[in-house]
Structure 1
Amino acid sequence: MSGSPFSATAFEALAAALRGSAGLMAKADIGLAAARLGLGEGSAIRVGDDCAAIPDGDGFLLLAIEGFMNRFVAGDPWFAGWCGMMVNISDIAAMGGRPLAVVDAVWADGEEGAAPVLDGLRAASQRFGVPIVGGHTNLSTDRGQLSVAILGRAKKLLTSFDARPGETLIAAIDLRGRYREPFSNWEAATEAPAERLRGDLELLPFIAESGLSRAAKDISQGGVVGTSAMLAEASGVGVEIELSRVPAPEGVDPARWLMSFPSYGYLICAQPAHVPAILAAFEARGIASAAIGTLTADRRVTVVNGGARETIWDFATRPLIGCGPTTAPREDAA
């Protein structure tokens, strides 16, 4: 954030805001759906990651879907369409993969209502170079709604399940953007050239295929801390985050930033020896990155400010999405 510790009062207020984050609390809905569907640790394909990773020959097919809040589709329909592509592509990249194709489902009150959403989808498809190959359309509804699914492929996976105690937590975020008001979406993609967007996404498969990391996650509506919590739970570990180390734009409110959804933002776990190579890869492409914390064995999400510490979530007390392992991993687990 600022690069220096917060005052004691500011840190306490920041921790309280993070504990009450709507984006974090909403993640509990995932656990409710997974339980109702009978999905869990024993499922053939593990759930709780950015994508379902389906073994396929010498690699994995990656399958994911995103649904969008009604008020977002109504308030900024073109950008909602753009995000339908962008966030799915980002989920594929977060798992070390490359996107293959997208399908969409659009509901609207007539052609006029659907037009900006479809225009946003098309613009992002062209910019990212990922084809839309079909979907579902209903133009006889009383409101706009959007869901988009994606198929990708990975040679080697980055997952939410393979972080280990003792590893370093890295945040990489493209700060070359602005807020897309009134939502807390940090928009750093719509004006970026196609070559840059596609090259930046290639960093994640590079990291996976080079063996620099086994665990990563796309920063979602839960923000840096909420996404860290999801990653930690899925891996059966804890995490300590030094808030002042989180890459951030100048002049942005820290609480808002830590709960923001960036266009390009990833958390990556790595052995300390691999951290310099990962940071150098992002720096070479003008993407801000930093080692912001450490994976621990205590099953808590803790934020640190100098000598002060605050617990944001304790998995021993309650699950978040409930998709983590029943036993904690060993620090030396392969």
Structure 2
Amino acid sequence: MNLESLAAELRGFVGVTRKKQIGELISFFPIESKQIIASFGEDAAVIDDGDEVMLLAADGIWSRLMDADPEWSGYCSVLVNVHDIAAMGGWPVAMVDVLSIGDPELAEKVLRGMKKGIEKFGVPIIGGHLHPDTPYNALDVAILGKAKKDGVILSSTAKPGEVIIAAYDMDGSPHPLFAINFDSTSFKESSVLAEQLGSMRELGESGLVRAGKDISNPGLLGTLAMLLETSKVGAVVDVEAIAVPEGLALVEWLKMYPGMGFVVSTRPENQEAVLEVFTRRGLTARVIGRITEARRLIIRGRGEEAVLFDLAQESVTGIH
């Protein structure tokens, strides 16, 4: 696949296109509190709490995932929320959920998956709401976390000249019923996952990283585009530098939610230290590009070049 074709396929990927309406909603939610340090565009809202901050996030599970594998959707509802807090350089405290479901058998499968996630990541669900008689099935989870104020990692602070590092666990495989999910966590010990998640907290508190996100449903480059859009910058990415799990094509991997993965930017003089932290904690980390002032995400490789997103003319989320 040439790079123009790759760019076109990624732009049309549903994991990316589903994000486009977010920006349209923001005008309905004015923020007037001085306690709010950061909000829309971040993996979690950042709320002032003295020397620390509170991190607040929520995720709704995609109906396609619920239909494909209810138990896996329950597990993922915990997984994605824990990652949102980790991506900010924080640690999770507790969650609440809203479960809307009318089929008791389906509900049991979802709850079984949630229980597995709670046990795996050690984060309790302490309340929420149940709709036991809905004609549809939906699961939403919100999470509260904390971080040191001087250790928070934002999506809006990437600067031109910084290098881009992608880090993820390639020890896994695509989910058998939902191929755009890569399972690298469900079979691992909790201690291993805690070590991997803790990489972002170490990077934030050490000052090595100030901009980053967890790689989510838009995939690696889609997630990077969200970071660039929020930071009002661009990037050039070398697709040949992207590590791909054995047996997968590049285009397949770039459409996957990796289960355990982050993309960050850092100053060039810090890149070796950042790579060392990720590697020591069990993630495969590579420098894949650099941040630019021109607001375009350009992909390069094998003598080719293509514009994946022209962020000066188009949006991924509409959040600036």
Deviation at residue 307 of structure 1 after TM alignment: 3.1
1:106-255 alignment, distance < 5 Å: 106-155=99-148, 156-183=151-178, 184-255=180-251
Aligned to 1:29: 21
**How many residues in Structure 1 have an aligned counterpart in Structure 2?**
315
SS in 2 for 1:152: strand
Q: State the shift of 1:123 in Å.
A: 1.0
Q: Can you give the 5+ residue segments of structure 1 that lack an aligned partner in the other structure?
A: 1-8, 325-334
4, 24, 27: which one aligns with 1:12: 4
State how far apart, in whole Å, the 1-side matches of 2:53 and 2:184 are: 29
Can you list the C-alpha shifts for 1:190-226, whole angstroms capped at 9, x where unaligned? 0000110111111110000011010110111111111
The equivalent of 2:77 in structure 1 is: 84
Q: Report the Cα distance in structure 1 between the residues aligned to 2:314 and 2:4, rounded to whole angstroms.
A: 22
Aligned to 1:259: 255
Name the structure 1 match of 2:317: 321
8 Å CA contact 2:199–2:281 kept in 1: the answer is no
Deviation at 1:44, TM superposition (A): 6.4
TM-score in terms of structure 1 length:
0.90
Q: TM-score, normalised by structure 2?
A: 0.94
What SS is found at the alignment partner of 1:262?
A: coil
- Where 2:136 maps in the other structure, the secondary structure is strand
CA gap 1:251/1:39 in 2 versus in 1, 3 angstroms: farther
1:49-88: CA deviation from partner (whole Å, max 9, x where unpaired): 1000111111210000000122211221111111111100
Deviation at 1:275, TM superposition (A): 0.8
User: Does the 8 A contact of 1:221 with 1:260 survive in 2?
Assistant: yes
| In 2, Cα distance between equivalents of 1:123 and 1:241 | 37
Counterpart residue number, 1:329? none
The equivalent of 2:92 in structure 1 is 99
2: CA distance, partners of 1:47 / 1:15: 26
What residue ranges of structure 2 are gaps of 5+ in the alignment?
Answer: none
The answer to whether the Cα contact below 8 Å between 1:104 and 1:136 also exists between their aligned partners in 2 is yes
Amino acid paired to 2:158: A
Q: State how far apart, in whole Å, the 1-side matches of 2:243 and 2:26 are.
A: 33
Deviation per residue, 1:238-260 (Å, 9 max, x gap): 01111111121012021121111
Say if 1:38 and 1:309 are closer, same or farther in 2 by CA, change over 3 A.
farther
C-alpha distance in 2 between matches for 1:279 and 1:44: 29
Match of 1:284 among 280, 284, 308: 280
Compute the displacement of 1:285 (Å).
2.8
Structure 1 SS opposite 2:217: coil
Indicate conservation of the 8 Å contact 2:37/2:47, yes or no.
Answer: no
| 1:142 Cα deviation from its structure 2 partner | 2.1
Please point out which of 288, 293, 296 is paired with 2:292.
296
Kept in 2: contact 1:54–1:61 (CA 8 A):
yes
Deviations 1:33-55 (A, max 9, x none): 22343579x98643111000111
| Secondary structure at 1:63 match in 2 | strand
Does the 8 Å contact 1:173/1:247 carry over to 2? Answer: no
**One-letter amino acid matched to 1:18:** L
Following TM superposition, by how much is the alpha carbon of 1:320 offset from its aligned partner in structure 2, in angstroms? 2.4
Whether contact under 8 Å (2:196, 2:282) holds in the other structure is no
In 2, the alpha carbon distance for the partners of 1:241 and 1:267 equals 12
Deviation at 1:283, TM superposition (A): 1.5
Judge conservation of contact 2:182–2:256 (CA < 8 Å) in 1. yes
Q: Which runs of 4 or more aligned residues in structure 1 lie more than 6 Å from their structure 2 counterparts after TM superposition?
A: none
**SS of the residue aligned with 2:153?**
coil
> What is the identity, as a one-letter code, of the residue corresponding to 1:112?
E
Structure 1: distance between partners of 2:93 and 2:157: 25
Aligned to 1:133, the other structure's residue is in SS state: strand
C-alpha separation in 2, matches of 1:53 and 1:285? 26
Separation of aligned partners in 2, 1:44 and 1:169 = 25
Verify the 8 A CA contact 1:114 1:139 in the aligned structure 2: no
State yes or no: 1:305 paired with 2:301. Answer: yes
* Structure 2 CA distance for aligned equivalents of residues 142 and 38 of structure 1: 33
Q: Tell me the secondary structure at the aligned position of residue 111 of structure 2.
A: helix
**Aligned match for 1:72, one of 57, 61, 65:** 65
